[in-house]
Copies of this chain bind each other. A is one copy, B any other.
Amino acid sequence: MDRLDAIRSHLYANGFSTIQALADALGASLATVRRDLQILEQEGAIDRVHGGARIADGSSVEVAFQEREKRHLSAKRAIATVAYDLLHPRSAIFLDAGTTVLQLARLIRINPMPLRIFTNGLTVAQEFLNVPNLEVVLLGGQLRSENASIVGPQAEAMLETIWFDQLFLGVSAVSPDGTIYSVDSAEASLNRRMLTRSANRFVLADSSKFGTMATYKVAPLNAAKVITDSGLSDQWRGELAGLGVDVTIADLGTKE
């Protein structure tokens, strides 16, 4: 393994390292490490910062997913906060693999309560590592890279053996006629199955999702209660009321 690979590997394993630490680990001088980092930076493999370097976004975890996670972040956090208040200790809940649901997972992590959590999201599961009083069960099946989720027939079969109190489902799009859509066929199928296995169903969707389309139909919106943010247009509020959908609006506040 040449030195460039060693640096790549080191940064990949640690996420970040100081130049000094790299120099020590490789037995090379600071100047040499700096030069190597320049090369890796040009390749786009790493990002340099004063004093060190970090693995570039997309080398460790999926780019698009991380970007999506940041989009409408304050809305997602507001929605997650509302959802968090719906939880009660010792219940069994299912967390979908979406970015909004990930914010809810993060809230649970920071402010834990005893729960049995089921999920098909690797990122969600990862969030709960070493959090006390949680029993976490991950669905088994095919790994879908786009959002680090588990899908496929094995996951669906495993779902059939589980029943939970609350489902928190993130969605790709809500069509103008009030139907939930997904970008992936396997994911849509699994989502449909989730909706049949829960006593209480919540769709977490920031207001930007309303009126957009994706490829695969999941279910009509009134199959679940909806939690969204205050950016929702009056028109949509009226429409949802007409559809008989139970909507909770999370207040965005003024600043993040």
Contact = CB atoms under 8 A, between A and B. Distances in A.
Interface of A: 1, 5-6, 8-9, 12-13, 15-16, 18, 25, 27, 49-52, 54, 58, 60-62, 66, 69-70, 77, 106, 110, 122, 125-126, 128-131, 135-143, 145, 148, 150, 152, 154-155, 158, 161, 255-256
B141 A140 contact: yes
Given A15-B15, A16-B16, A158 B140 contact: yes
Given A15-B16, A50-B18, A69-B13, A150 B138 contact: yes
A141 B139 CA distance: 6
A6 B140 contact: no
Contacts of A9: 106, 110
Contacts of A110: 5, 8-9
A158 B154 contact: yes
Given A61-B126, A140-B150, 13 more contacts: A13-B66, A13-B70, A13-B106, A15-B16, A15-B54, A51-B51, A51-B52, A54-B54, A129-B143, A129-B148, A135-B142, A138-B138, A140-B155
B137 A140 contact: yes
Contact of A137 (B5, B122, B128, B141): B141
Given A27-B255, A140-B158, A154-B137, A130 B16 contact: no
A152 B161 CA distance: 14
14 contacts: A13-B70, A49-B52, A54-B54, A61-B129, A62-B129, A126-B126, A126-B148, A128-B143, A129-B145, A136-B142, A137-B142, A137-B154, A138-B150, A158-B158
